[in-house]
A and B are shown apart, each in its own frame.
Chain A
Amino acid sequence: NAGVTQTPKFQVLKTGQSMTLQCAQDMNHNSMYWYRQDPGMGLRLIYYSASEGTTDKGEVPNGYNVSRLNKREFSLRLESAAPSQTSVYFCASKGDPVYGYTFGSGTRLTVV
């Protein structure tokens, strides 16, 4: 099925550990995004990539880095995890700007 695939689905990290969240889409979309979702705060944009080879900061980029590996893949890296990064992370992609996003199923991350 066409869509956005995220891995892993669940992860528990200790404070200070690093990890990379993977995201891949097979819809030939140019734009890809990373959001975090926290209770009472809705969705907040971390980083986005408008096209292959470009990345830009969103609303809450601190503590994160991204890589647009190719047109299909967009990864999010936490270099030194903190408890404040406990959240559900969603990757999304979009083709034509007037159409909506396609979201992945999310990664639930807990930092202890």
Chain B
Amino acid sequence: GDSVTQMEGPVTLSEEAFLTINCTYTATGYPSLFWYVQYPGEGLQLLLKATKADDKGSNKGFEATYRKETTSFHLEKGSVQVSDSAVYFCALSDRFGTGGFKTIFGAGTRLFVKA
């Protein structure tokens, strides 16, 4: 079945450091891929998405490229800020059955950014 695996956290970085959070997936079809962010005490917010191979999603300085050959969707940011401290979830959405869609979330990676 479909699955999403993301690197375990927590990840601790200093401000202005480069961020990579790895995400790999398995899917039977051609899924859409997503990154969500959850700030303390809040719900998940969609950060970026990509709907087909080689698409790059980007938002707020974050980016991720849909790599079908490596089944990956790694999240990157060139220079993190303290305000980026949050939990990041990788997810895929894929068809199942006759016309339905299901979404699979990774376990989440907590990021701490120190000033």
Contact = CB atoms under 8 A, between A and B. Distances in A.
Chains A and B form a bound pair: yes
A64 interface: no
B93 A106 contact: no
The prevalent SS among residues of B at the interface is strand
B61 interface: no
Interface residues of A, number: 19
A98 B44 contact: no
B42 A43 contact: no
A34 interface: no
Interface residues of B, number: 21
B42 A40 contact: no
Nearest to A6: B43
Contact of A98 (B43, B89, B93): B93
A4 to B, nearest CB: 8
Interface of A: 4, 40-43, 45, 50, 90, 92, 97-106
